[in-house]
Amino acid sequence: MLKCEICGELADKHHIVYKSQGGIGFPLNFRYLCSVHHRGPSGPHKNRSVDLEYKLDMQKKLENVLIKEYYIIEELVPLLKINKGMLKRLFKDCKENDGGFRKGDIIFRLMGRKRYDERIEGVEGKTTKIVNYIYYFGKHEKPGDYFVETILKDKYGTPVTSKRISFKLKAHDPNLNPNYILIEKKVNYGLLAQNVEINVKNDGNVLAENFYVYESIPIFMKLFFFPQKEPDTQETKENRIISGWLIKNLPPGETITISYNISTWNAVLIGVVVIAIVMYAFSSFYSISIAKTHKYKGPITKEKEITVMLEVRNRTRNVIRDLVVRDFVPGIARVIEKFETNRKIFR
């Protein structure tokens, strides 16, 4: 049940930037107002000052939430709680830079393609009207000289006076101070394998350039080391292999992931193959086998005799007793006893 933000009565959802003005549905564009404070004389639909107040408040909130200079759509979805498809439609005619969409362009479109300024309806004589603005700079904002300029205009839009305040944003340079490079290592274990992810983040506000990230593993694990990207350097030191990946540039606030696998599956497969070969060899050379041969002269005709010899070979080290040897003869043939049985063969 929705309640009015002003009086606590049952409320409707008010779009600060109307749908007819290009507004879309997301939390920062909502105010919850009862029928009186929504569409009554003191509501934004009838009172221009209230409407402008709500829009200025929303605009300030957007400026405070969007602390970076550029954003990609995937970042805006959880941050502003806006559907991805809706954002794509909103920015379909907006130029996307390498870092994403510019903060000013994002706010401009979310405000219905308008920029709202504070309006002072009137200042009594010998009185002061105070207008407060809070400006937030993101942690990774580009260093340099900045200024805030306030321009007072009359009702016709003509500048009356202005005031400028300058300030300097210090550089947090990871190229000079490696502490601004944050490294987090995650290890995921699996069956006979493990995956290692090294997340490298530039926590400064200056582009990090041409630095290495090193990882060390025992030398005996070299055969089991499978990196997703081959290291740029590799050296052996004190029975360990040290691999290094070159990161040419890492923008402020961004993270790059280096990943490799340690897998013993290949060793297990080799072991299984070797065992299978040994077992096959053992069964071939240290088992009982039967050799069957036959001989005859000339063409096979009726009453032709074919001599068949069955040779039993015992390659084990044990004596085998009461061994029965069976052979099968076609029904058209007749067995005649003209041969010896149990003949010993010495080898």
Give the model's pLDDT for residue 156: 79
Q: Which residue has the tokens 């005859």?
A: 296
Of 267, 282, 315, which marks where a domain is finished?
267
Q: Are residues 113 and 223 in the same domain?
A: no
CA–CA separation, 246 and 143 (whole Å): 25
Mean predicted confidence (pLDDT) in 20-29 = 92
> Is the pLDDT reported for residue 343 higher than 70?
no
Q: Are residues 216 and 103 in the same domain?
A: no
Mean predicted confidence (pLDDT) in 180-205 = 92
CATH number, residue 247: 2.60.40.1170
Of 49-63, 174-188, 232-246, minimum mean pLDDT range: 49-63
> Is the pLDDT reported for residue 344 higher than 50?
no
Chain segment 112-135, per-residue pLDDT in tens: 988 887 766 677 888 887 776 666
- Is residue 148 one of the residues assigned to a domain? no
> Is the pLDDT reported for residue 211 higher than 90?
yes
Give the model's pLDDT for residue 305: 82
Of 267, 296, 313, which marks where a domain is finished?
267
- The percent of residues in the chain predicted with pLDDT above 90, rounded, is 44
> Is the pLDDT reported for residue 342 higher than 70?
no
- The percent of residues in the chain predicted with pLDDT above 70, rounded, is 94
Q: Are residues 11 and 105 in the same domain?
A: yes
- Is residue 62 one of the residues assigned to a domain? yes
What is the extent of the structural domain holding 202? 179-267
CB 30 within 8 A of CB 24: no
- Is residue 239 one of the residues assigned to a domain? yes
Q: Are residues 17 and 91 in the same domain?
A: yes
Q: Is 82 exposed, middle or buried (0-12, 13-18, 19+ CB in 10 A)?
A: buried
Give the model's pLDDT for residue 135: 63
Of 252, 267, 282, which marks where a domain is finished?
267
Q: Are residues 1 and 115 in the same domain?
A: yes
Helix axis angle, 103-110 relative to 48-65, nearest 10°? 150
Of 105-109, 273-277, 279-283, 342-346, minimum mean pLDDT range: 342-346
CA–CA separation, 121 and 129 (whole Å): 10
Mean pLDDT of the chain: 86
Q: Are residues 7 and 114 in the same domain?
A: yes
Give the model's pLDDT for residue 261: 92
Give the model's pLDDT for residue 29: 95
Give the model's pLDDT for residue 339: 57
Q: Are residues 183 and 107 in the same domain?
A: no
> Is the pLDDT reported for residue 142 higher than 90?
no
| Helix, strand, coil share (%) of the chain residues, nearest 5 | 25, 30, 45
Residue 237 amino acid letter: K
C-alpha dist (Å) from residue 29 to 23, 61, 111: 8, 10, 9
Q: Are residues 20 and 115 in the same domain?
A: yes
- Is residue 194 one of the residues assigned to a domain? yes
Q: Are residues 198 and 93 in the same domain?
A: no
Q: Where are the alpha helices (DSSP H) in 31-72?
A: 35-39, 48-65
Q: Are residues 194 and 107 in the same domain?
A: no
The tally of domains found in the chain comes to: 2
- Is residue 297 one of the residues assigned to a domain? no
- Is residue 263 one of the residues assigned to a domain? yes
- Is residue 22 one of the residues assigned to a domain? yes
Give the model's pLDDT for residue 346: 37
Chain segment 272-322, per-residue pLDDT in tens: 999 998 888 777 677 788 888 888 877 877 778 888 888 888 877 788 888
- Is residue 292 one of the residues assigned to a domain? no
Q: Identify the CA nearest to 31 among candidates 118, 217, 105, 50.
A: 50
CA–CA separation, 149 and 206 (whole Å): 26
